[in-house]
Chains A and B, each alone.
Chain A
């Protein structure tokens, strides 16, 4: 495949890429410009904001997983002094429309349960009160009479013909099923001399940010405008859907972005909480704050992670060459289907990993049960499928008696095969996987640790090595949400990002962003570095602001490791326009050709004559105040706005034998982890942990390392600790941090990190996304390392999390499979 075969947009983008020479600010480990306010405790998160006359809300959560609501007695709550209003499903029926859903229907989700509850923790009522203490007291006074219904908790039981239905109108609990076949899978399996097969279990966990989801609603009866301050990520992408739920025109809704104390997916199109706050404010006629408490966040947030049961097999030759992959996956979606099957579409963008596998079959069974709904969690499904694939690869190596590095090396896509079209149709834009492999073997001291492991094993110690690879797709278009359907109702192909750039009369640069993109990543630092690169100004002086939805241009926000690439494109576009105007004015005033000017040290100067220079402030003042000094064809002002579209995406084919290009900027990484396991206690000690990532052009090495380490440790939580514990009645047993363990500083390794930079030919500056890569590797590397350490017991790891109790039990029972 050559670049010429790609769409025109890609060729245009190529022209802006690869300007490596003379780079001044991109690639520097500058301190984050966001940091000082957070270090002083002035981060202004949602719960830090108070509005005059603001009331506070709390919700009554269902105690049942599945029950008919017979009656609700709110009289005692309403009689409590300080209670403003009690709200139930009857108010929702009267005044609101259902919440948006992107899945197959009809699966209706309401702000507060109407008629029946479908999962433990679902809201059945809300109280608005003068303070949060009173609101929670009043919740305890609300008497709900339930008629319990049989709950479906197991996704296999849920598929039985006589299973109780989560949604009667759907007529089944199987919300969606489809098999995609790419290539000649049956033939490949018939011909291949070897195959491995495994049933693999990926449990439900969640992003679990330290700051829960929250919003403050305001209602202005005079104008009819509802204002919602919210820490939801992509409010400009979908705010019109929130307006629809509130039954108001989108023009009467203003969503104001608020910094989030973490998301990891859990605030990605967070619709329930903002809609709720707006709805309560409309009913109360005054501002209402609704911030989830931790229990509510755990049992009722919008975004639990994937909950999968894989039956997967890999066919390969005697020399270790991979031939075909066949996957059957049951995913337990819980009671609603907000994002439909998008997390499986996401995985299909890199289902073959970094390997030359030609034939792939993927079957999905999306099943509804009486649990909280799924949404987004760092990796958006690709982290699960990567673990599945790497488990199969380790099994194949074992089957052949081949080294686990060697079998991977033999199957890696070669550097001269890019851009590489994968069987599903998605392309990998660029890469040098062999280069990353060589680096990780050195950084991970692979040979050394193999010898150490063998020595330890001879001494009766349990040391194990995990070595795994992963691709990291970045920058979604949007087709992964709908290519599942032959006749989709809604076919978005655009997920743009915008930026406005203005130079004020004093020469200071202000950039306005159009999504709520601040949740622990570094949008203001990225933007400042791009602006500094374009204008050669000090990034510390650049001001970054955020538009509200009434002023916002198209924006999608962070997600799918897209933001750095997309916002850089938007900022570069706006900068180019402003620079052209600066050049025109400077050319006029300095009486030189615009082509002879360059941007140096906060001004515009004549190339070769640096003393002939105008500062940005001098040009800006003229641009604002001295129209008669400007060229005749130049208007006053110095501002531009730019909307950057996905630079390389195509539609799927009608027959879906080709899903199109939908996630093409693909990084690559390897991790090596060395652990020692204490089989008496199950305790893990990390002897070494190394990671090499290739995320294209690095904008800021320090913050990129932060994303890699943070993602890796979040993946460690997935691998070792985290799982929603639903009992047989569908109640969540681990509703707080005592029982839902998050990794602490004592649980994690110190990592050694290196980078390779293979710039993308299609993105601004060659950047690729890198926010999710860490979590795509740790589950696989720890599975492999612990399995290797427990080799004397013949342990095979096929499910997560790998608990200490499980390790002790395996060793004690001498593993019986």
Chain B
């Protein structure tokens, strides 16, 4: 078996210390070691963005990073969005109101990517700006239109 290395990482506001194989991806660490199954692997090649998480607030492909590369940094996953009783946040609520998800597989990555956009561009409702922001996450179900509308509705009320 491959030797392990120590990893200190903050995930959804909580600090973890783990021993991980150097070749373990951030996605597999979060899914298998921390049980955060909201991260979804689709292409494992860096193109579809379905595994996006926020690393120090910035959307990254968790399939393209090794877990140890995230050492000392802060990760946010979809599990951080809802309230303690599972209450949907404004963005999640907008997604259901606008029917911005169908199979739900890309949804966690789409929500996090939209979250980053909304934080960095408060009040921005421009269609093209939103489409550019989410263009790195592939959705096969929705055709994107209702996702854009959901993000616009949150931006308009921010």
Residues of chain A touching chain B, judged by Cβ–Cβ distance below 8 Å, are: 31-32, 34-45, 47-48, 81-82, 133, 207-212, 259-262, 264, 293-294, 519-522, 702-703, 705-706, 709-710, 712-714, 736-738, 742-746, 748, 750-751
Contact = CB atoms under 8 A, between A and B. Distances in A.
Q: Interface residue tally of chain B, by bracket?
A: 35 or more
B7 interface: no
A41 B92 CA distance: 11
Given A39-B107, A210-B48, A746 B135 contact: yes
Main secondary structure, interface of B, reads loop
Given A39-B104, A43-B104, A703-B99, A736 B144 contact: no
A704 to B, nearest CB: 10
B45 A738 contact: yes
A757 B40 CA distance: 38
B140 A208 contact: yes
20 contacts: A32-B96, A35-B95, A36-B86, A39-B104, A40-B81, A44-B37, A47-B40, A210-B140, A211-B42, A261-B40, A262-B103, A703-B99, A705-B99, A710-B142, A713-B143, A714-B140, A737-B47, A744-B135, A745-B137, A746-B131
B146 interface: yes
A39 B43 contact: no
Contacts of B77: 41
Nearest to A34: B104
Closest 10 CB pairs of A and B: A41-B38, A38-B104, A261-B105, A520-B103, A713-B143, A737-B47, A41-B78, A520-B102, A48-B37, A709-B143
A738 B47 contact: yes
A746 to B, nearest CB: 5
Interface of B: 1, 21, 23-24, 31, 36-45, 47-48, 50, 77-79, 81-82, 86, 88, 92, 95-97, 99, 101-108, 111, 127, 130-132, 134-148
Contacts of B108: 41
B78 A745 contact: no
Given A710-B140, A750-B127, 13 more contacts: A39-B88, A39-B111, A40-B92, A133-B24, A209-B105, A212-B42, A519-B103, A520-B104, A520-B141, A742-B140, A745-B135, A745-B144, A746-B132
A210 B105 contact: yes
A34 B43 CA distance: 25
Contacts, number: 170
Contacts of B97: 31
Contacts of B88: 36, 39-40
A522 B143 CA distance: 16
Given A48-B37, A210-B138, A706-B102, A745 B147 contact: yes
Contacts of A751: 143, 145
A816 to B, nearest CB: 36
Contact of B1 (A32, A40, A82, A209): A82
B47 A209 contact: no
B112 to A, nearest CB: 10
A42 B138 contact: no
B103 A737 contact: no
Given A82-B1, A714-B140, A736-B43, A261 B104 contact: yes
Interface centre among A45, A209, A210, A738 (most CB of B within 10 A): A210
Given A36-B88, A133-B23, A737-B48, A81 B38 contact: no
A259 B37 CA distance: 14
Contacts of A745: 130-132, 134-135, 137, 139, 144, 147-148
